[in-house]
Amino acid sequence: MKKKITIIGSTGSIGTQALEVIEKISDEFEIIGLAAGSNVDLLNKQIEKFHPKTVCLGKKAEIADKSVKVLYGDEGLEELCSNKENDIILVAVSGKIGLRPTISAIKNGINIALANKETLVMAGDIVTKLAKENNVKIFPVDSEHSAIHQCIKDISQVSKLIITASGGPFLHKTVEDMKNATVEQTLKHPRWNMGRKITVDSATLMNKGLEVIEAHHLFGFDYDNIEVVVHPQSIVYSAVEYADGSVIAQLGLPSMHIPIQYAITYPNRIEGIKSKSFSFAEIAHLDFEKPDFEKFPTVKLAYQAGKEGGSATICLNAANEEAVFAFLDNKIKLFDIYAITKKMYNAHNIVKNPSIDEIFAIDEEIRIKTRELINN
Ligand code: MN3
């Protein structure tokens, strides 16, 4: 029997790559739902190819195939993700819009392939508790967390998680270069082709900070036992250290196809989209270095927020995102992103154990205040 899957965020970077994966292993999967924000043309093409029964769109628009049930907006997304027919839902939307549908899926006992950062950064405690209560598995799609997931056999014997970071376009540039960086230079990521917001986060290393917070929630590790190491080649996706000192790493040529596929086919490995075979000899050498916290202070701030817990990570995420948008609009400089995030963070009164409604309210409040700070 084919596994039934729904993809939310099907027209985005991860969503389109997931469909490439599923097209290749179509004997294993049936797509029963797709959701997209506003790219109706691409969604229509995806419907033609994959024949989902239900789709969801951000707002009203014409869907060519009249046999498809069409839902809209946040409510539609929640309905799509509550459908118990699903064996797994791939959450590939970016932003807080991914949070409520993920919770709906978990409450309905549906396993999650998670590519949405905000779910764990904003509501990690609630989401992991709900998953446990409903016996739901959360399979990470992000390459670093996928690697850790692949390296762990018995989690009780693992002593440390080691997350690799490519270091982004400014790794070997000076602080001065970073201060004067243009949007164009910042968006030139050396290894990965991703959306604009995450590419800026990769340049400041905030992306790595957020991944540390996600790893804490996904694997239940203390922040002191999660380490970030810079690895410019992005061949070692990430690693774990066992109690006896043995380190197991997962390696591959940089491609999102492997982590996406593993999240939906776990525990099976099937051929799928195989790029060329891995060659240690061709790669020849792998470099590693400590992250420079002076150049990339965001990582330290993320650790601090993670350790403080409660609403601290909501504040970090919201202030950073608003600052990144302002940078992309040429309103502020690259280094201002950290300065603004830090200022907002220091002014924030942490709320312990916020509810989902409180999480959204805090997120909104921080965003408004951050925009005010930027505009003054
Ligand atoms: Mn990543």
Per-residue pLDDT tens over the stretch 107-119 = 999 999 999 999 9
CA of 115 from ligand 1 middle (Å) equals 9
CA of 92 from ligand 1 middle (Å) equals 13
| Per-residue pLDDT band at 296 (split at 50, 70, 90) | very high
CA of 365 from ligand 1 middle (Å) equals 27
CA of 180 from ligand 1 middle (Å) equals 26
Coil, strand or helix at 245: coil
Cβ proximity of 351 and 311 under 8 Å = yes
CA of 186 from ligand 1 middle (Å) equals 17
CA of 211 from ligand 1 middle (Å) equals 7
CA of 267 from ligand 1 middle (Å) equals 21
CA of 165 from ligand 1 middle (Å) equals 8
| Per-residue pLDDT band at 230 (split at 50, 70, 90) | very high
Q: How far apart are CA 170 and CA 174, in angstroms?
A: 8
Please give the pLDDT value at position 274. Answer: 77
Kind plus residue range of the DSSP H or E element containing 230: strand 226-230
For 130-189, write each residue's pLDDT tens digit.
999 999 999 999 999 999 999 999 999 999 999 999 999 999 999 999 989 999 999 987
CA of 144 from ligand 1 middle (Å) equals 5
Tokens of 141: 């799609």
Cβ proximity of 327 and 334 under 8 Å = yes
Treating both helix axes as pointing N-terminal to C-terminal, what angle do 13-24 and 257-265 enclose, rounded to 10 degrees?
60
CA of 147 from ligand 1 middle (Å) equals 10
Q: How far apart are CA 140 and CA 120, in angstroms?
A: 11
CA of 88 from ligand 1 middle (Å) equals 21
CA of 238 from ligand 1 middle (Å) equals 10
CA of 352 from ligand 1 middle (Å) equals 28
CA of 237 from ligand 1 middle (Å) equals 9
CA of 117 from ligand 1 middle (Å) equals 10
CA of 80 from ligand 1 middle (Å) equals 27
Please give the pLDDT value at position 239. Answer: 98
Coil, strand or helix at 206: helix
Residue 102 pLDDT more than 90? yes
CA of 143 from ligand 1 middle (Å) equals 5
For 26-61, write each residue's pLDDT tens digit.
999 999 999 999 999 999 999 999 999 999 999 999
CB atoms < 10 A from the CB of 368, how many? Answer: 12
Q: How far apart are CA 5 and CA 91, in angstroms?
A: 11
Coil, strand or helix at 34: strand
Amino acid occupying residue 216: H
Residue 335 pLDDT more than 80? yes
CA of 183 from ligand 1 middle (Å) equals 21
The pLDDT > 70 percentage for the chain reads: 100
CA of 218 from ligand 1 middle (Å) equals 14
Please give the pLDDT value at position 12. Answer: 94
Does pTM top 0.75 for this prediction? yes
Sign of the alpha-carbon dihedral angle for 180, 183, 186, 190: negative
